[in-house]
Amino acid sequence: MSVTVRRATKADAARVAEFAVALARLHVEWDAKRFTQVIGDGAAWWYGERAEADNAAVFVAENDGHPIGFAYMEYEEVYYAGLATDAAWLHDIYVEPDARNSGAGRALLAAVRDEAKRRGANKVLLSVAVGNEHGQRLFERSGFRTTMLEMMLEV
């Protein structure tokens, strides 16, 4: 498998939205009380706009020109809610199940890291679902370390 990563364009928005919906479904499977399937009809518009936003980047991983995954990040000079400055936030990363362990996830993370550096970030932050053991291993192998734990109280 020959994996390449490139910046997404608005033309990629529908396929990226399909990946995002699949990612959201996984989160609901991992914990339906925490996650809600909110990504739907507006996802193609959203990712199309984010592909051209000044503070964001969307990447597409491909195998021989066929999209197999994506990553979406935003840069924030000051991120008040996270008590961070010069941070790139990796909001989404997804690789199709049959393309996992192909290097696509690592290649997407490398593209995010490089874009974060280009924008002036000194860190990349992300959240990972407790049930996403595959993702956790990928992030740890790529040099991420745990800095926060999210907790939830049902009310």
The per-residue pLDDT of the chain, averaged, comes to: 94
Q: How confident is the model at residue 1 (pLDDT cuts 50, 70, 90)?
A: low
| Whether 134 contacts 102, CB under 8 Å | no
**The overall pTM is greater than 0.85:** yes
**pLDDT for 41 beyond 80:** no
What are the residue boundaries of the structural domains of the chain, listed by start? 3-141
Query: Can you name the CATH fold of 3-141?
Result: Aminopeptidase (3.40.630)
Q: What's the confidence (pLDDT) of residue 81?
A: 86
Is 10 a residue whose pLDDT tops 80?
yes
Residue 105 has pLDDT above 70, yes or no: yes
Backbone angles phi, psi at 32, to 5 degrees: -70, -15
**Is the pLDDT reported for residue 135 higher than 70?**
yes
